[in-house]
Amino acid sequence: MDHTLNADSSSLPKKVTAKAGYHHGDLRTQLLNAVRLLVEEKGAENFSIAEAARKAGVSTAAPYRHFEDKPAILKAVVLDAMTRNGEEMRRVMQPFPFGSIERINALGQCYIDFARQHPGIFRLVFGFSEKHDGDEDLTACGREVFGIVIEAVANYLDLPPNHPMAAERAYMLWTFVHGHSWLIIDGKTKAQDLQIDEGVMLSAVSDGLIASLRQP
């Protein structure tokens, strides 16, 4: 029910769980866990491979048996986070009827929750995305996740999923939850003394930008 990033957790290809008691157990996974923790602790820009290795109880050279270099580790963490977020989005919309506005709202809320629960990871995924700009794997993963939103919007509006208006309105929703996520983790809502009922606002947005298209 929650976006668990800090648990013992398995890595992307879901088959690494076993083989414990090897050399280290499963260093790759534990390194990614260590990085996630560090990124939350010290911020995405202050994390170092050395410290992640220390946290995983291993020499500073060990990570290079599993990753090419530092950017490769970051990329793995980002890809992992995006995948988990996508899975969570599919999960939270399921209880609501196919084609309902509630599904759309649930997706938006899920995105915001992810940012609030893992602000460091969120910053890493988006704040530094210039670095892996153009990366094929990440782009593909992003498309897949955003595709969930497009689909939900298309279903609600009774449009074919490739209709440009579905993508357009899905993007508007994205900008909104994305902006709100940033402003929340930046503490801007507190700084501006804004008292906002997030659910109400989210509904107002999907009503104003999406539901309004149903009544011509």
Side chain identity, residue 110: C
The residue (of 50 and 213) whose beta carbon lies closer to DNA is 50
Contact flag: residue 69 with DNA (CB under 7 A): yes
Contact flag: residue 215 with a second copy (CB under 8 A): no
Tokens for 4?
């668990």
101-117 and 198-209 helices cross at what angle (nearest 10)? 130
The residue (of 18 and 133) whose beta carbon lies closer to a second copy is 133
With a CB cutoff of 8 Å and minimum separation 6, the contacts of 175 are none
Q: What is the DSSP string of 56-124?
A: TTS-TTGGGGT-SSHHHHHHHHHHHHHHHHHHHHHHHHTTSPTT-HHHHHHHHHHHHHHHHH-HHHHII
With a CB cutoff of 8 Å and minimum separation 6, the contacts of 199 are 105, 109
Cα 5 to chain centroid distance, Å, stands at: 11
Question: 77-88: b or e for each residue (b if 16 or more CB lie within 10 Å)?
Answer: bbbbbbebbbeb
> Please, what is the minimum distance in Å from the beta carbon of residue 23 to a second copy?
34
Residue 50 site contact among a second copy, DNA, none (CB < 5 to 8 Å, cut-off depends on kind): DNA
Please state the length of the chain. Answer: 216
Tokens for 184?
């929340």
Contact flag: residue 60 with a second copy (CB under 8 A): no
Residue 177 site contact among DNA, a second copy, none (CB < 5 to 8 Å, cut-off depends on kind): a second copy
| Per-residue contact string for residues 120-159; x = within reach of a second copy by CB under 8 A | ---x--xxxxxx-xx----x--xx--x-------------
| Interaction residues for a second copy, span 177-206 (CB under 8 A) | 177-183, 185-189, 191-192, 194-196, 201, 204-205
> Please, what is the minimum distance in Å from the beta carbon of residue 185 to DNA?
23
- φ, ψ at 162 (rounded to 5°): -100, 10
The residue (of 24 and 75) whose beta carbon lies closer to DNA is 24
Interface residue list for DNA (CB under 7 A)? 19, 21-25, 27, 48-51, 58-62, 64-66, 69-70
Interface residue list for a second copy (CB under 8 A)? 43, 45, 119, 123, 126-131, 133-134, 139, 142-143, 146, 164, 167-168, 171-172, 174-183, 185-189, 191-192, 194-196, 201, 204-205, 208-209, 212
